[in-house]
Amino acid sequence: MSLIHDVLLWTPYVPLTAVGGAALHYRARRKAADKRAADAERRAAEADRLIAARDEEARQLADSRLPALAYALQHGTPPSFGGLLHPELNSTVTAAAYESVLKQVGALMDGASRKAEEATRSTVRACVKSVQALLYEQQSAISNLLDAEDDERVLALVQPVDHAGNQLLRRLQVLGVIAGTWPGRQRDNVPLNDAIRGAMSRIRDYQRVRPPRASGLYLADRNVEPVVLVLAELLDNAARHSAPSTPVDVRLVEGAQGVSIEIHDAGAGMSAEAELEAKRRLSGDGSFRLTELRNPPSFGLLGAGVLARRYGFRVYLDDASHYGGVRAVVFLPQALLADAPPPAETAPAPVQQTAPAAPVRQADPSTVAAAGPYEITHDGLAKRNSGRPASQDTIRPRRPLAGAEPPPTGSGRGLAAFVRATSGIHADAPQTADDPQMSNPSPTSEESPR
């Protein structure tokens, strides 16, 4: 009876228990559904954010990274692929795809740039050689004329042509050096002071340059023309960037490792950007290309850097000029110098014999000026003369040129500034394949002429 009683007592509560369990079950399911919905919304939001991030990366690739890569390749600076705006994409397929695109574009642009550079160099080399040959002919004809004539009027008229030809030949040589040719050969050692004067003779404002005192140093034969070209470019640069009334001072500083040629100007100096660009050009590391030259092109320092690297000397610019401008320094190691030639042996003086004194003959005034060594002008250089003794038989009046004004007194002496300076500084005609320097470049040079 008690068991039946208990069953009857619990029977009304069974539906209530089932309802409560069902409620708990559905509540749990609802919470799970809400959680799944929240997770789905979060994943959707994350997907939207990643899609937006990839869109921004694509825009960054097109607007910034590709143009930066192109700029770096066009200006010879190391290519940089840049970084992603969203670091969380670094290990994704998108990042790898973008990196591959940049590398392929960089390789294509670099290849196209190299082909364009080589084509430009080949064209420049061909043009330089053809024009150089004509200039050598012109300079030879001018030299023959100057050697054959002793009229100051002719010298005064020919001087501007000769000087302009020297400058044009220098510019062609430097341009050819940048394009990969060699500057020329020199078969004799020359005094370093003569090399400096040879550089002076190849610039427009040579009269403003103050050469150094005689040093007794000699420059080895194969290094003469490169050093002369570099000094000429630095002297021209100093003269063009300083006032016409100021001097350009050249000094020699000898040291245990070699000798430094310092060029001081009184210009305005260089900005930090200009100094950095000059350092880059003078490095001669081959990173600068002809296709990068601006308009109008400026390639003097670029050629100086190529020659310095090829022949083993150093060139640099700083603001340590004694006149407040720029100081250019060319450091020549001892290996580039040569020993002074031994003094010429003099023949023993003949034994004087007692004899009646011969009558003293007065020298003909017309022969005095033509005999003996060169006359030294006020600027320390030699004055050209014909080297032929003049006589009354050979002196004849010359007709004035039509429409020409008489030159000022002493005007022909200006050309003498180039005589002594360039007498030992000669570059050969355009080089051929049997040039020993072409087949056996300096150990300090790069693999081949560029």
Q: What is the DSSP string of 337-388?
A: EEPPPPPPPPPPPPPP---PPPPPPPPPHHHHTTSSSPEE-TTSPEEP---S
Q: Quick one: tokens of 237?
A: 């640069």
Residue that has been written with the tokens 């390749």 in this structure: 73
pLDDT-wise least confident of 158-167, 274-283, 294-303: 294-303
**Residue 55 corresponds to which amino acid?**
D
449: pLDDT strictly greater than 60:
no
Binning pLDDT at 50, 70 and 90, where does residue 110 land?
confident
| pLDDT at residue number 17 | 62
Would you call 201 helix, strand, or coil by DSSP?
coil
Instruction: Name the residue ranges covered by the structural domains of the chain.
Output: 16-91, 118-341+413-428
| pLDDT at residue number 435 | 43
Distance of CA 204 to the CA centre of its chain: 20
316: pLDDT strictly greater than 50:
yes
Binning pLDDT at 50, 70 and 90, where does residue 406 land?
very low
Return phi, psi of residue 315, to 5°: -135, 135
Which one-letter DSSP state was computed for residue 415?
G
Question: What CA–CA distance (Å, rounded) separates 182 from 428?
Answer: 11
390: pLDDT strictly greater than 80:
no
| In the chain, % of residues over pLDDT 70 | 70
Using N-to-C axis directions, what is the helix angle for 300-311 and 224-240, rounded to 10°?
A: 150
pLDDT-wise least confident of 76-80, 192-196, 407-411: 407-411
| pLDDT at residue number 310 | 92
| pLDDT at residue number 6 | 54
Cβ atoms < 10 Å from Cβ of 336:
19
| pLDDT at residue number 12 | 56
| pLDDT at residue number 148 | 84
Q: Which of 391, 333, 341, 332 is nearest to 366 (CA)?
A: 391
Higher-pLDDT residue of 397 and 149 is 149
| pLDDT at residue number 345 | 61
- Whether domain 118-341+413-428 has CATH 3.30.565.10: the reply is yes
**416-435: average pLDDT:** 45
- The mean pLDDT value of the chain amounts to 75
Q: Which residues contact 198 (CB under 8 A, 6 or more apart)?
A: 190, 228, 421, 422, 424, 425
With 0.85 as the threshold, say if the pTM is over it. Answer: no
How confident is the model over 146-185, as pLDDT tens digits?
888 788 888 888 888 888 988 999 999 999 998 888 887 6
pLDDT-wise least confident of 6-15, 201-210, 308-317: 6-15
Binning pLDDT at 50, 70 and 90, where does residue 103 land?
confident
| pLDDT at residue number 383 | 47
Question: What CA–CA distance (Å, rounded) separates 6 from 11?
Answer: 9
| pLDDT at residue number 235 | 96
Pair 383, 374: CB distance under 8 Å: yes
Q: What is the DSSP string of 30-80?
A: HHHHHHHHHHHHHHHHHHHHHHHHHHHHHHHIIIIIHHHHHHHHHTTSPP-
| pLDDT at residue number 156 | 86
41: pLDDT strictly greater than 70:
yes
| pLDDT at residue number 422 | 52
411: pLDDT strictly greater than 80:
no
Pair 239, 205: CB distance under 8 Å: yes
| pLDDT at residue number 413 | 45
| pLDDT at residue number 408 | 45
| pLDDT at residue number 446 | 35
**Residue 333 corresponds to which amino acid?**
P
Would you call 155 helix, strand, or coil by DSSP?
helix
| pLDDT at residue number 305 | 93
| pLDDT at residue number 356 | 41
**Residue 202 corresponds to which amino acid?**
R
How confident is the model over 49-62, as pLDDT tens digits?
888 888 888 888 88
How confident is the model over 225-267, as pLDDT tens digits?
999 999 999 999 999 999 999 999 999 999 999 999 999 999 9
Binning pLDDT at 50, 70 and 90, where does residue 397 land?
very low
3-state secondary structure 418-449: HHHHHCCCCCCCCCCCCCHHHHCCCCCCCCCC
Q: Which of 422, 431, 432 is nearest to 139 (CA)?
A: 422
Element (H, E) at 210: strand 209-210
| pLDDT at residue number 393 | 40
Q: Which of 423, 376, 379, 426 is nearest to 250 (CA)?
A: 379
| pLDDT at residue number 349 | 54
Pair 395, 365: CB distance under 8 Å: no
Pair 79, 118: CB distance under 8 Å: no
